[in-house]
Amino acid sequence: MLYPAYVHIGDDQHAHGVTIPDFPSCFSAADEWEDLPRMIQEAAEVYFEDEDIPVPAPTPLEELVVNPEYQGGVWLLVDIDLAKLKVKAKRVNITMPEKLLHEIDCYAEQYHMTRSGLLVQAAGQYIHRKQLAVT
């Protein structure tokens, strides 16, 4: 799911610093710009490790850019893999058409995902799109 990350641009002496507004007190840094997505994913995984807190929906970027706390840097939208976050999980039993289940399994295998991971990611993206359409 795409989350906004605020980047404090580094220089020859300082790394690029990152704040993830939707995850309070979650920070990261990287010397190279191309390393930022990996470092942000790692920071998110550590942030939710051993915590029993729900993963919030991303805050719309339009709301964040007007916040005076975020001045002098740049915004980066990062695709955080929510399936890799160690959040409290609950086992559920669902029913669906067999053909759809087969398609889900084929897709998940093709992209090296689990069935559960794919369903969680897809549901999260669907809900987020619906929430954006309402606002």
Match 């398609």 to its residue by tokens: 103
Structure tokens at 33: 């710009």
Give the model's pLDDT for residue 15: 95
Count of the separate structural domains present in the chain: 2
pTM: 0.64
Q: Indicate whether 58 and 107 sit together in one domain.
A: no
- Which residue in 26, 65, 69, 59 sits closest to 131, CA to CA? 59
Give the model's pLDDT for residue 87: 66
Q: Indicate whether 54 and 31 sit together in one domain.
A: yes
Domain that holds residue 18: 1-87
CATH number of the domain where residue 83 is located: 3.30.160.250
Q: Which helix (H) or strand (E) holds 130?
A: helix 115-134
Q: Indicate whether 15 and 27 sit together in one domain.
A: yes
Strand 74-79 and strand 27-30: the pairing is unpaired
Q: Indicate whether 95 and 135 sit together in one domain.
A: yes
Report d(CA 130, CA 114) in Å as an integer.
24
- Which residue in 6, 9, 23 sits closest to 69, CA to CA? 6
Neighbours of 113 (CB within 10 A): 17
- pLDDT tens string for the chain (135 positions)? 899 999 999 998 999 999 999 998 999 999 999 999 999 999 999 988 876 777 888 889 999 999 998 988 999 999 998 878 876 667 889 999 999 999 999 998 887 778 887 887 788 778 867 666 665
Structure tokens at 53: 């807190």
Amino acid at residue number 54: P
E-state strands within the chain:
2-8, 16-19, 27-30, 74-79
